[in-house]
Amino acid sequence: MSNTFGRILRLTTFGESHGPAIGGVLDGFPAGVFIDFNRIRYQLSRRRPGQSAVTTARNEVDEPEFLSGIFEGKSTGAPIAFLIRNADKRSADYESLRQVFRPGHADETYTAKYGHRDHRGGGRSSARETANWVLAGALAAHLLPQVEVLAYTSQIGDVRLPEDAAFSPEDVDKYSTRMPHVAASTSAEKLITDLKEQGESVGGKVAVRVTGLPAGLGEPIFDKLHARLAHAMMTINATRAFEIGSGTRAASMRGSEHNDMPDDNQTFATNHSGGVLGGISTGRELTFEVTFKPTASIAKEQKALDTEGHVVDLAIPGRHDPCVVPRAVPVVEALTWLVLADFYLLNRIHTLY
Amino acid sequence: MSNTFGRILRLTTFGESHGPAIGGVLDGFPAGVFIDFNRIRYQLSRRRPGQSAVTTARNEVDEPEFLSGIFEGKSTGAPIAFLIRNADKRSADYESLRQVFRPGHADETYTAKYGHRDHRGGGRSSARETANWVLAGALAAHLLPQVEVLAYTSQIGDVRLPEDAAFSPEDVDKYSTRMPHVAASTSAEKLITDLKEQGESVGGKVAVRVTGLPAGLGEPIFDKLHARLAHAMMTINATRAFEIGSGTRAASMRGSEHNDMPDDNQTFATNHSGGVLGGISTGRELTFEVTFKPTASIAKEQKALDTEGHVVDLAIPGRHDPCVVPRAVPVVEALTWLVLADFYLLNRIHTLY
Amino acid sequence: MSNTFGRILRLTTFGESHGPAIGGVLDGFPAGVFIDFNRIRYQLSRRRPGQSAVTTARNEVDEPEFLSGIFEGKSTGAPIAFLIRNADKRSADYESLRQVFRPGHADETYTAKYGHRDHRGGGRSSARETANWVLAGALAAHLLPQVEVLAYTSQIGDVRLPEDAAFSPEDVDKYSTRMPHVAASTSAEKLITDLKEQGESVGGKVAVRVTGLPAGLGEPIFDKLHARLAHAMMTINATRAFEIGSGTRAASMRGSEHNDMPDDNQTFATNHSGGVLGGISTGRELTFEVTFKPTASIAKEQKALDTEGHVVDLAIPGRHDPCVVPRAVPVVEALTWLVLADFYLLNRIHTLY
Amino acid sequence: MSNTFGRILRLTTFGESHGPAIGGVLDGFPAGVFIDFNRIRYQLSRRRPGQSAVTTARNEVDEPEFLSGIFEGKSTGAPIAFLIRNADKRSADYESLRQVFRPGHADETYTAKYGHRDHRGGGRSSARETANWVLAGALAAHLLPQVEVLAYTSQIGDVRLPEDAAFSPEDVDKYSTRMPHVAASTSAEKLITDLKEQGESVGGKVAVRVTGLPAGLGEPIFDKLHARLAHAMMTINATRAFEIGSGTRAASMRGSEHNDMPDDNQTFATNHSGGVLGGISTGRELTFEVTFKPTASIAKEQKALDTEGHVVDLAIPGRHDPCVVPRAVPVVEALTWLVLADFYLLNRIHTLY
């Protein structure tokens, strides 16, 4: 019942993994903005399966059709509706799953909630939905031309991007893992391909750095900037944790160590706040990190419940990523854009004179 | 602009730390529920400052006044409004802070957003607001009599509650730290009192276990149960991270290890999902953990910016908790109740027949 | 920015008159409902242009495509998305209007608001949008099988349906005017065809009677049943007035005359309340009436402003209804269904035990 | 469950007629606005009972207490909460009504919806609530200093304000009826006082003219300016009809007559649109009219149902206006301000550059 996200810039989405199409309606997009369709297609291609050895072989062209809200290249202020047809469906792959609840999937909970479900590829709960978000996020990014959102893989399994890794935004996509460091990415890629052979999967983390964000974004009390980011990130399939700034490390820290203090040049040596104080952006770098669990669909045999409550043996057919993290990078980025653009529009209301 | 929380059970709050009162309006509360005022007062007393050596000395009686929505002891279906007067204000303590942005506080961001601010005790950004949530959460708890929400301190500084600690819900409040384990709590208490003497503060974590929750709560796509919980927890002052189930540990795990699988008795040995699959409750235990940063207000001298952009020396006057975690326990619990009750009411709509 | 209607059953729509398609997403529709596609097509055919001498000649097949939310004939609880392609567009007809603000149309106000507009057939402001509502309303009607909504033409120009006209629901569509009375409809039809020849148009009214509605629908204070109905009706293109029960006649009445009182059989001889007291349904018949202005697009020459602020002569090309009322009947009915179904779902929350 | 009004400027209210207090929270009010408390008190005094021979004798001082959101005379951007204590309650007057459903009142519908009710003075359904709106409307008016909202009585019973009546805004309150015309007001006042003696009541109308409104306010598709005004007006107790511009008269008009056309000086001789086209303000005068039914509470004996379903004789005790219209004038005005200010804030989002 909650297929709408945002307060001013509102994205409503629909579509099942194996239905005729997925799509969405982006309402509240201001008028008069020239739309860069190449930017949108580029972001969709980043999320697309089948990009490398570390991703699923399902192949979706993901060519969006725009149905409204854009006239002669510019947004009109009317809602922008878009459609992405589901081309490469193999629903028959899923017929054997009609009566089984796959471990780690929403099969059992959708059935508990709705009484029945579309079992083909997870139906509405499929990560196919994230293509809608990537498209909408690319639209939202048009509204904040001065802001840069940089998302990248910071961990896969136990392989962690070194703290002191130096890279530019352009570097991220040069690595199949999107972990921008030669040695680390090589280790991670080897880990993934090894696990794939074993019918296994692995988790990881995506980190985000936002620069150029103005101070003052975020709404007290119940729509704090990091609360909305947390909400957005927990919306992504397979996420397990959200950390702003210092994150879980803050539990062990002292106040004098954690507080970001200015030096004599009015600059701040640390950014434990992650760019948010009291739920409102400071105007300094915004930083957060998101943890993903290992892909639930694995080829390895598992125990599962069927719809009758019996325990059955299950080896999941179909094509699945052994690690969702590399393809999650543009998804994290897209939802970040949606949150930031929404707050940006909302912020134009606050001071009248 | 976002002082309302919830979709069906909607809490709207108001009030500044040093204004005449704080309070709220809880709308959408069903009719015909007998209100247990002692339960509400008890929860408020758990959050109240001045309870022990580990908390601030500010003393608020926190006797709520109910203004509407309850008639002859029962809810009427009309909004329940309540008021908590601010009794023990010492606004003069804050006069010296009018021109200074305290490190780790919302002073600079409120000023950036609104052009000016109520500098007395943080104004609207003060954790005084959490008393409203505790009251509203205690009301929400009336709607789920079969559910038990157990929150407790799981970490303070580097002192961690042992994984195998055995305790009952009643045990939690027997410890000044709310960490229900004799040795751990003693260590943690010593840490806090030592830091207090040094004018320092420390962070920590609160863990939550919910039992008795029905399957089917949570709304795909954009109001997943754990997304709303994350949102709620990041709303609490000083939180830095939200982890559902396996949390950040999931990054290093394998799929076959992380997936919760039934054994031959149809029970599950693990609960890495934390009781949520696809954003919907499984009906098994719901578990999550929240990280808090060290209290930003410390007596120790710090560097800070003033409203003119100069760097000044600052030692914060006033009365502050050296560790917010013990008093945060009932706050975490209250917001959990608000989220669960909202989803519970929403869930009554889904299947018609 | 407000292309969503409803609180629980939420319709989000999109599309311009001469864009590739119009469509919508209906969220909050409960799971497990068998969808009667013939009922939907039948309602769309009732709204369709080109039905008779009294309507426009534009011909739209209006065959909807369903994209999601329905699986094996039943609703799944996921959002139901639908699309209606725009087939018979003649955008070239509108090229001459690019620089002119048609009197009585939204041309000038959309330009004032958004800086530019899609001038082809009114773009987003076109009554083409109402096809979306008719489709969604037909879906909503599935949720209230025990309720009957009867809408009919009660006035066209000065021709008024006699107060004592007797007719069944099936009778309405037997009349090209949808005014279910032989003499009155004949007069009204003659009036319309005469005006058409003159390049003129005329206004009228649609009346609604709802039976079988349970008591208790409607939400105090700010979502009263008749307030939401008024909101919905004023959403329809060309509406000028909403009257509940006694309507404008109430201004001249006395209290003892207006109050509906029970007779000795506990039945009510009058229904001046229109079936609503305090914004909540009484369970007795719901009655209201909606006034439509004459079609703004007329062939007769008019004065108009152009985008430069000059006054120009204008004779509007294209195909237009001389009276919108007959085709508005299914639109009024559809929005009534959407309002009632939304309140019906909302009402399931109010009493817990 | 719907005690909140507005999208950006959001008013949440609470309180029962005979509870300790009524009040509200106005969220989304921009920071930095100096509050004119005298203006607020003045508007409350205009709504206050006991002003003249034509109104009820209940006497409420209606001195509001402001609890938050204003600091050193200026709005802070935090929610503005206010309280109005119920001073002159005579709940005992209502004891006899505990088991009776007063005709024309919400007694039966609240009971049907909620299972029980606060029977004292209508509880939440009482027009006492409108004091909250008047206060909030006076705050909202601060946001549109260049706009003038003029509301006045246009009809009482069959006494109608002449079409050509000339009057200034200051004139309205010089008449006890708020019908600004000597002869008409005298007739209306005599009608009311005669009816009062008979234990009777009478209906009437309030008209509104808004000048100084910018073009572009109102949100397609589902938040049209006149749809929101209709919604707001139907929210007021005892309203029966809403008419924008030409209103119900449009039913009989021709297109060439109804369309507002510019003359050679680019001005418009007519304003049948009422200042709204396609749901968006034209920037010309906004005009609408609201019909009120006769006061439901009359001293004259009536038949009524009791809670057991029996028909009983009823003469309503207590103090009631024989005609609500004069006191409704500031209420209509207040809700108009709330609607306009909300759209004004919302409108700041639409064009980015």
| Backbone angle region of A96, left / alpha / beta, with phi > 0 → left and psi within -120 to 50 → alpha | alpha
pLDDT value of position C98: 86
Q: Which residues of D touch C296 (CB under 8 A)?
A: 255, 258-259
C-contacting chains (≥3 CB pairs under 8 Å): A, B, D
Q: List, in order of start, the domains of chain D with CATH numbers.
A: 4-347 (3.60.150.10)
Pick among B2, B3, B33, B75 to test the D interface (most D CBs inside 10 A): B3
Q: With an 8 Å Cβ cutoff, are B235 and A248 in contact?
A: no
Dihedral of the alpha carbons of A264, A269, A270, A276, in degrees to the nearest 10: 60
Give the Cα separation of C89 and C320 in Å (integer).
Answer: 13
| Minimum-distance CB partner of D345 among A77, A220, A349 | A349
Tokens of C238: 């060309």
Tokens of A41: 């297609």
Question: What is the average pLDDT across C199-207?
Answer: 97
Q: Which residues of D touch C302 (CB under 8 A)?
A: 256, 259, 261
Which residue has 């054994």 as its token pair?
A: B263
Instruction: Annotate C116-166 with DSSP letters as a single string.
Output: S---GGGGGGSGGGHHHHHHHHHHHHTT-TT-EEEEEEEEETTEE--TT--
pLDDT value of position A118: 84
- Chain C residues with CB under 8 Å of a chain B CB are 8, 28, 30-33, 77-78, 143, 220, 345-346, 348-353
CA distance A287 to chain B (A): 12
Give the Cα separation of C72 and D172 in Å (integer).
Answer: 64
Shortest CA distance from D143: residue in chain A: A352
- In three-state secondary structure terms, A51 is coil
Q: Which residues of A touch D77 (CB under 8 A)?
A: 350-351
Q: Which residues of A touch B228 (CB under 8 A)?
A: 231
Asked if omega into D236 is within 30° of 0 (cis), the reply is no
Distances (CA, A) of B202 to A307, B179, B199: 49, 15, 11
pLDDT value of position B189: 97
Give the Cα separation of B133 and B150 in Å (integer).
Answer: 16
Q: With an 8 Å Cβ cutoff, are C67 and A124 in contact?
A: no
Give the Cα separation of A206 and C113 in Å (integer).
Answer: 40
Report residue A314 CA to chain centroid gap: 29
Q: With an 8 Å Cβ cutoff, are D68 and B1 in contact?
A: no
Q: Which residues pair with A150 in a beta bridge?
A: A209
- How sure is the predictor about D317, in pLDDT bands with cuts at 50, 70 and 90? confident
Reported as half-sphere exposure (CB side, CA atoms, 13 A), residue B59 has a value of 3
Q: Which residues of D touch B18 (CB under 8 A)?
A: none
Which residue has 């210092």 as its token pair?
A: A246
CA distance B72 to chain A (A): 32
pLDDT value of position D217: 96
Percent of chain C at pLDDT exceeding 70 = 94
Res. D327: pLDDT tops 60: yes
Tokens of A276: 């948010």
Dihedral of the alpha carbons of B301, B307, B310, B312, in degrees to the nearest 10: -10
Task: Yes or no: say if B118 and D76 are a contact pair by the CB < 8 Å rule.
Answer: yes
Task: Yes or no: say if D329 and D45 are a contact pair by the CB < 8 Å rule.
Answer: no
Residue C181's H or E segment, with its range, is: none
Contacts with A74 (C-beta within 8 Å, 6 or more apart), sequence order:
A31, A32, A33, A34, A35, C116
Task: Yes or no: say if A50 and A154 are a contact pair by the CB < 8 Å rule.
Answer: no
Give φ, ψ of B215 to 5 degrees: -70, 150
- In three-state secondary structure terms, B192 is helix
Give the Cα separation of C3 and A12 in Å (integer).
Answer: 10
Give the Cα separation of B43 and B61 in Å (integer).
Answer: 13
Beta strand extents in chain C (DSSP E only): 4-5, 10-15, 21-27, 64-66, 70-71, 74-75, 80-85, 100-101, 148-156, 159-160, 204-211, 239-244, 276-277, 280-281, 286-292, 302-306, 311-314
Average pLDDT, chain C: 93
Which residue has 């529709």 as its token pair?
A: C29
Percent of chain D at pLDDT exceeding 70 = 93
Res. C92: pLDDT tops 90: no
Q: Which residues of A37-62 are buried (b: 16+ CB within 10 A; e: fewer)?
A: eeebeebbebbbbeeeebbbebebeb
pLDDT value of position D49: 80
- How sure is the predictor about A59, in pLDDT bands with cuts at 50, 70 and 90? low
Reported as half-sphere exposure (CB side, CA atoms, 13 A), residue C182 has a value of 0
Q: Which residues of D touch B136 (CB under 8 A)?
A: none
- How sure is the predictor about D62, in pLDDT bands with cuts at 50, 70 and 90? confident
Task: Yes or no: say if C13 and A14 are a contact pair by the CB < 8 Å rule.
Answer: no
| Backbone angle region of C270, left / alpha / beta, with phi > 0 → left and psi within -120 to 50 → alpha | beta
A-contacting chains (≥3 CB pairs under 8 Å): B, C, D
Res. D290: pLDDT tops 90: yes
Q: What's the pLDDT tens digit per position in A91-135?
A: 677 778 888 999 999 999 999 999 988 888 889 999 999 999 999
Task: Yes or no: say if B106 and B125 are a contact pair by the CB < 8 Å rule.
Answer: yes
| Minimum-distance CB partner of A112 among B215, B260, B310 | B215
Signed CA dihedral, B5, B11, B12, B14: sign only:
negative
B-contacting chains (≥3 CB pairs under 8 Å): A, C, D
Res. A51: pLDDT tops 90: no
What ipTM is given for this predicted complex? 0.96
Whether D47 has a binding-site annotation, put simply, is yes
pLDDT value of position D117: 83
Instruction: Annotate C43-87 with DSSP letters as a single string.
Output: HHHHH-S-SSTTS--------EEE-SSEETTEE-SS-EEEEEE--
Reported as half-sphere exposure (CB side, CA atoms, 13 A), residue A95 has a value of 4
Tokens of A119: 């079992």
pLDDT value of position D120: 84
Contacts with D79 (C-beta within 8 Å, 6 or more apart), sequence order:
B3, B12, B13, B14, D25, D26, D27, D29, D68, D69
Residue B112's H or E segment, with its range, is: helix B107-114
pLDDT value of position C59: 58
pLDDT value of position D96: 80
D-contacting chains (≥3 CB pairs under 8 Å): A, B, C
Q: With an 8 Å Cβ cutoff, are C109 and D218 in contact?
A: yes
Q: With an 8 Å Cβ cutoff, are C291 and D202 in contact?
A: no
pLDDT value of position D156: 98
- In three-state secondary structure terms, B309 is coil
Q: With an 8 Å Cβ cutoff, are C255 and D3 in contact?
A: no
- How sure is the predictor about A231, in pLDDT bands with cuts at 50, 70 and 90? very high
Q: Which residues of B touch D349 (CB under 8 A)?
A: none
Residue B41, class by beta-carbon neighbours within 10 Å (0-12 exposed, 13-18 middle, 19+ buried)? middle
| Minimum-distance CB partner of A32 among D143, D346, D352 | D352
Q: With an 8 Å Cβ cutoff, are A77 and C114 in contact?
A: yes
Q: With an 8 Å Cβ cutoff, are C223 and D261 in contact?
A: no
- In three-state secondary structure terms, D221 is strand
Tokens of C24: 């919508």
Give the Cα separation of C185 and C152 in Å (integer).
Answer: 11
Percent of chain D at pLDDT exceeding 90 = 83
Average pLDDT, chain B: 93
Q: What share of chain A is helix, strand, coil (3-state, %, to 5)?
A: 30, 25, 45
Of the candidates A93, A304, A120, A302, which has an alpha carbon nearest to the alpha carbon of residue A201? A302
Task: Yes or no: say if A347 and B112 are a contact pair by the CB < 8 Å rule.
Answer: no
Distances (CA, A) of D61 to A265, B13, D68: 57, 26, 21
Which residue has 């559809």 as its token pair?
A: C334
Task: Yes or no: say if D140 and D147 are a contact pair by the CB < 8 Å rule.
Answer: no
Res. C37: pLDDT tops 90: yes
Q: What's the pLDDT tens digit per position in D18-42?
A: 999 999 999 999 999 999 999 999 9
Task: Yes or no: say if A340 and A147 are a contact pair by the CB < 8 Å rule.
Answer: yes
Question: Which residues of chain B fall below pLDDT 70?
Answer: 1, 50-51, 53-60, 88-91, 318-319, 351-353
Whether C41 has a binding-site annotation, put simply, is no
Q: What's the pLDDT tens digit per position in A325-339?
A: 999 999 999 999 999
Give the Cα separation of B252 and B15 in Å (integer).
Answer: 44
pLDDT value of position B67: 97
The total of other beta-carbon atoms located within 10 Å of residue C309's CB is 9
Q: With an 8 Å Cβ cutoff, are B124 and D68 in contact?
A: yes
Whether B227 has a binding-site annotation, put simply, is no
Q: DSSP code of B303?
A: E
Res. D352: pLDDT tops 60: no
Give φ, ψ of B40 to 5 degrees: -65, -50
Tokens of C123: 């773009």
- Chain B residues with CB under 8 Å of a chain D CB are 1-4, 8, 10, 12-16, 19-23, 25, 27-28, 31-32, 65, 67-69, 71, 74, 76-81, 83, 110, 113-118, 123-124
Length of chain C: 353
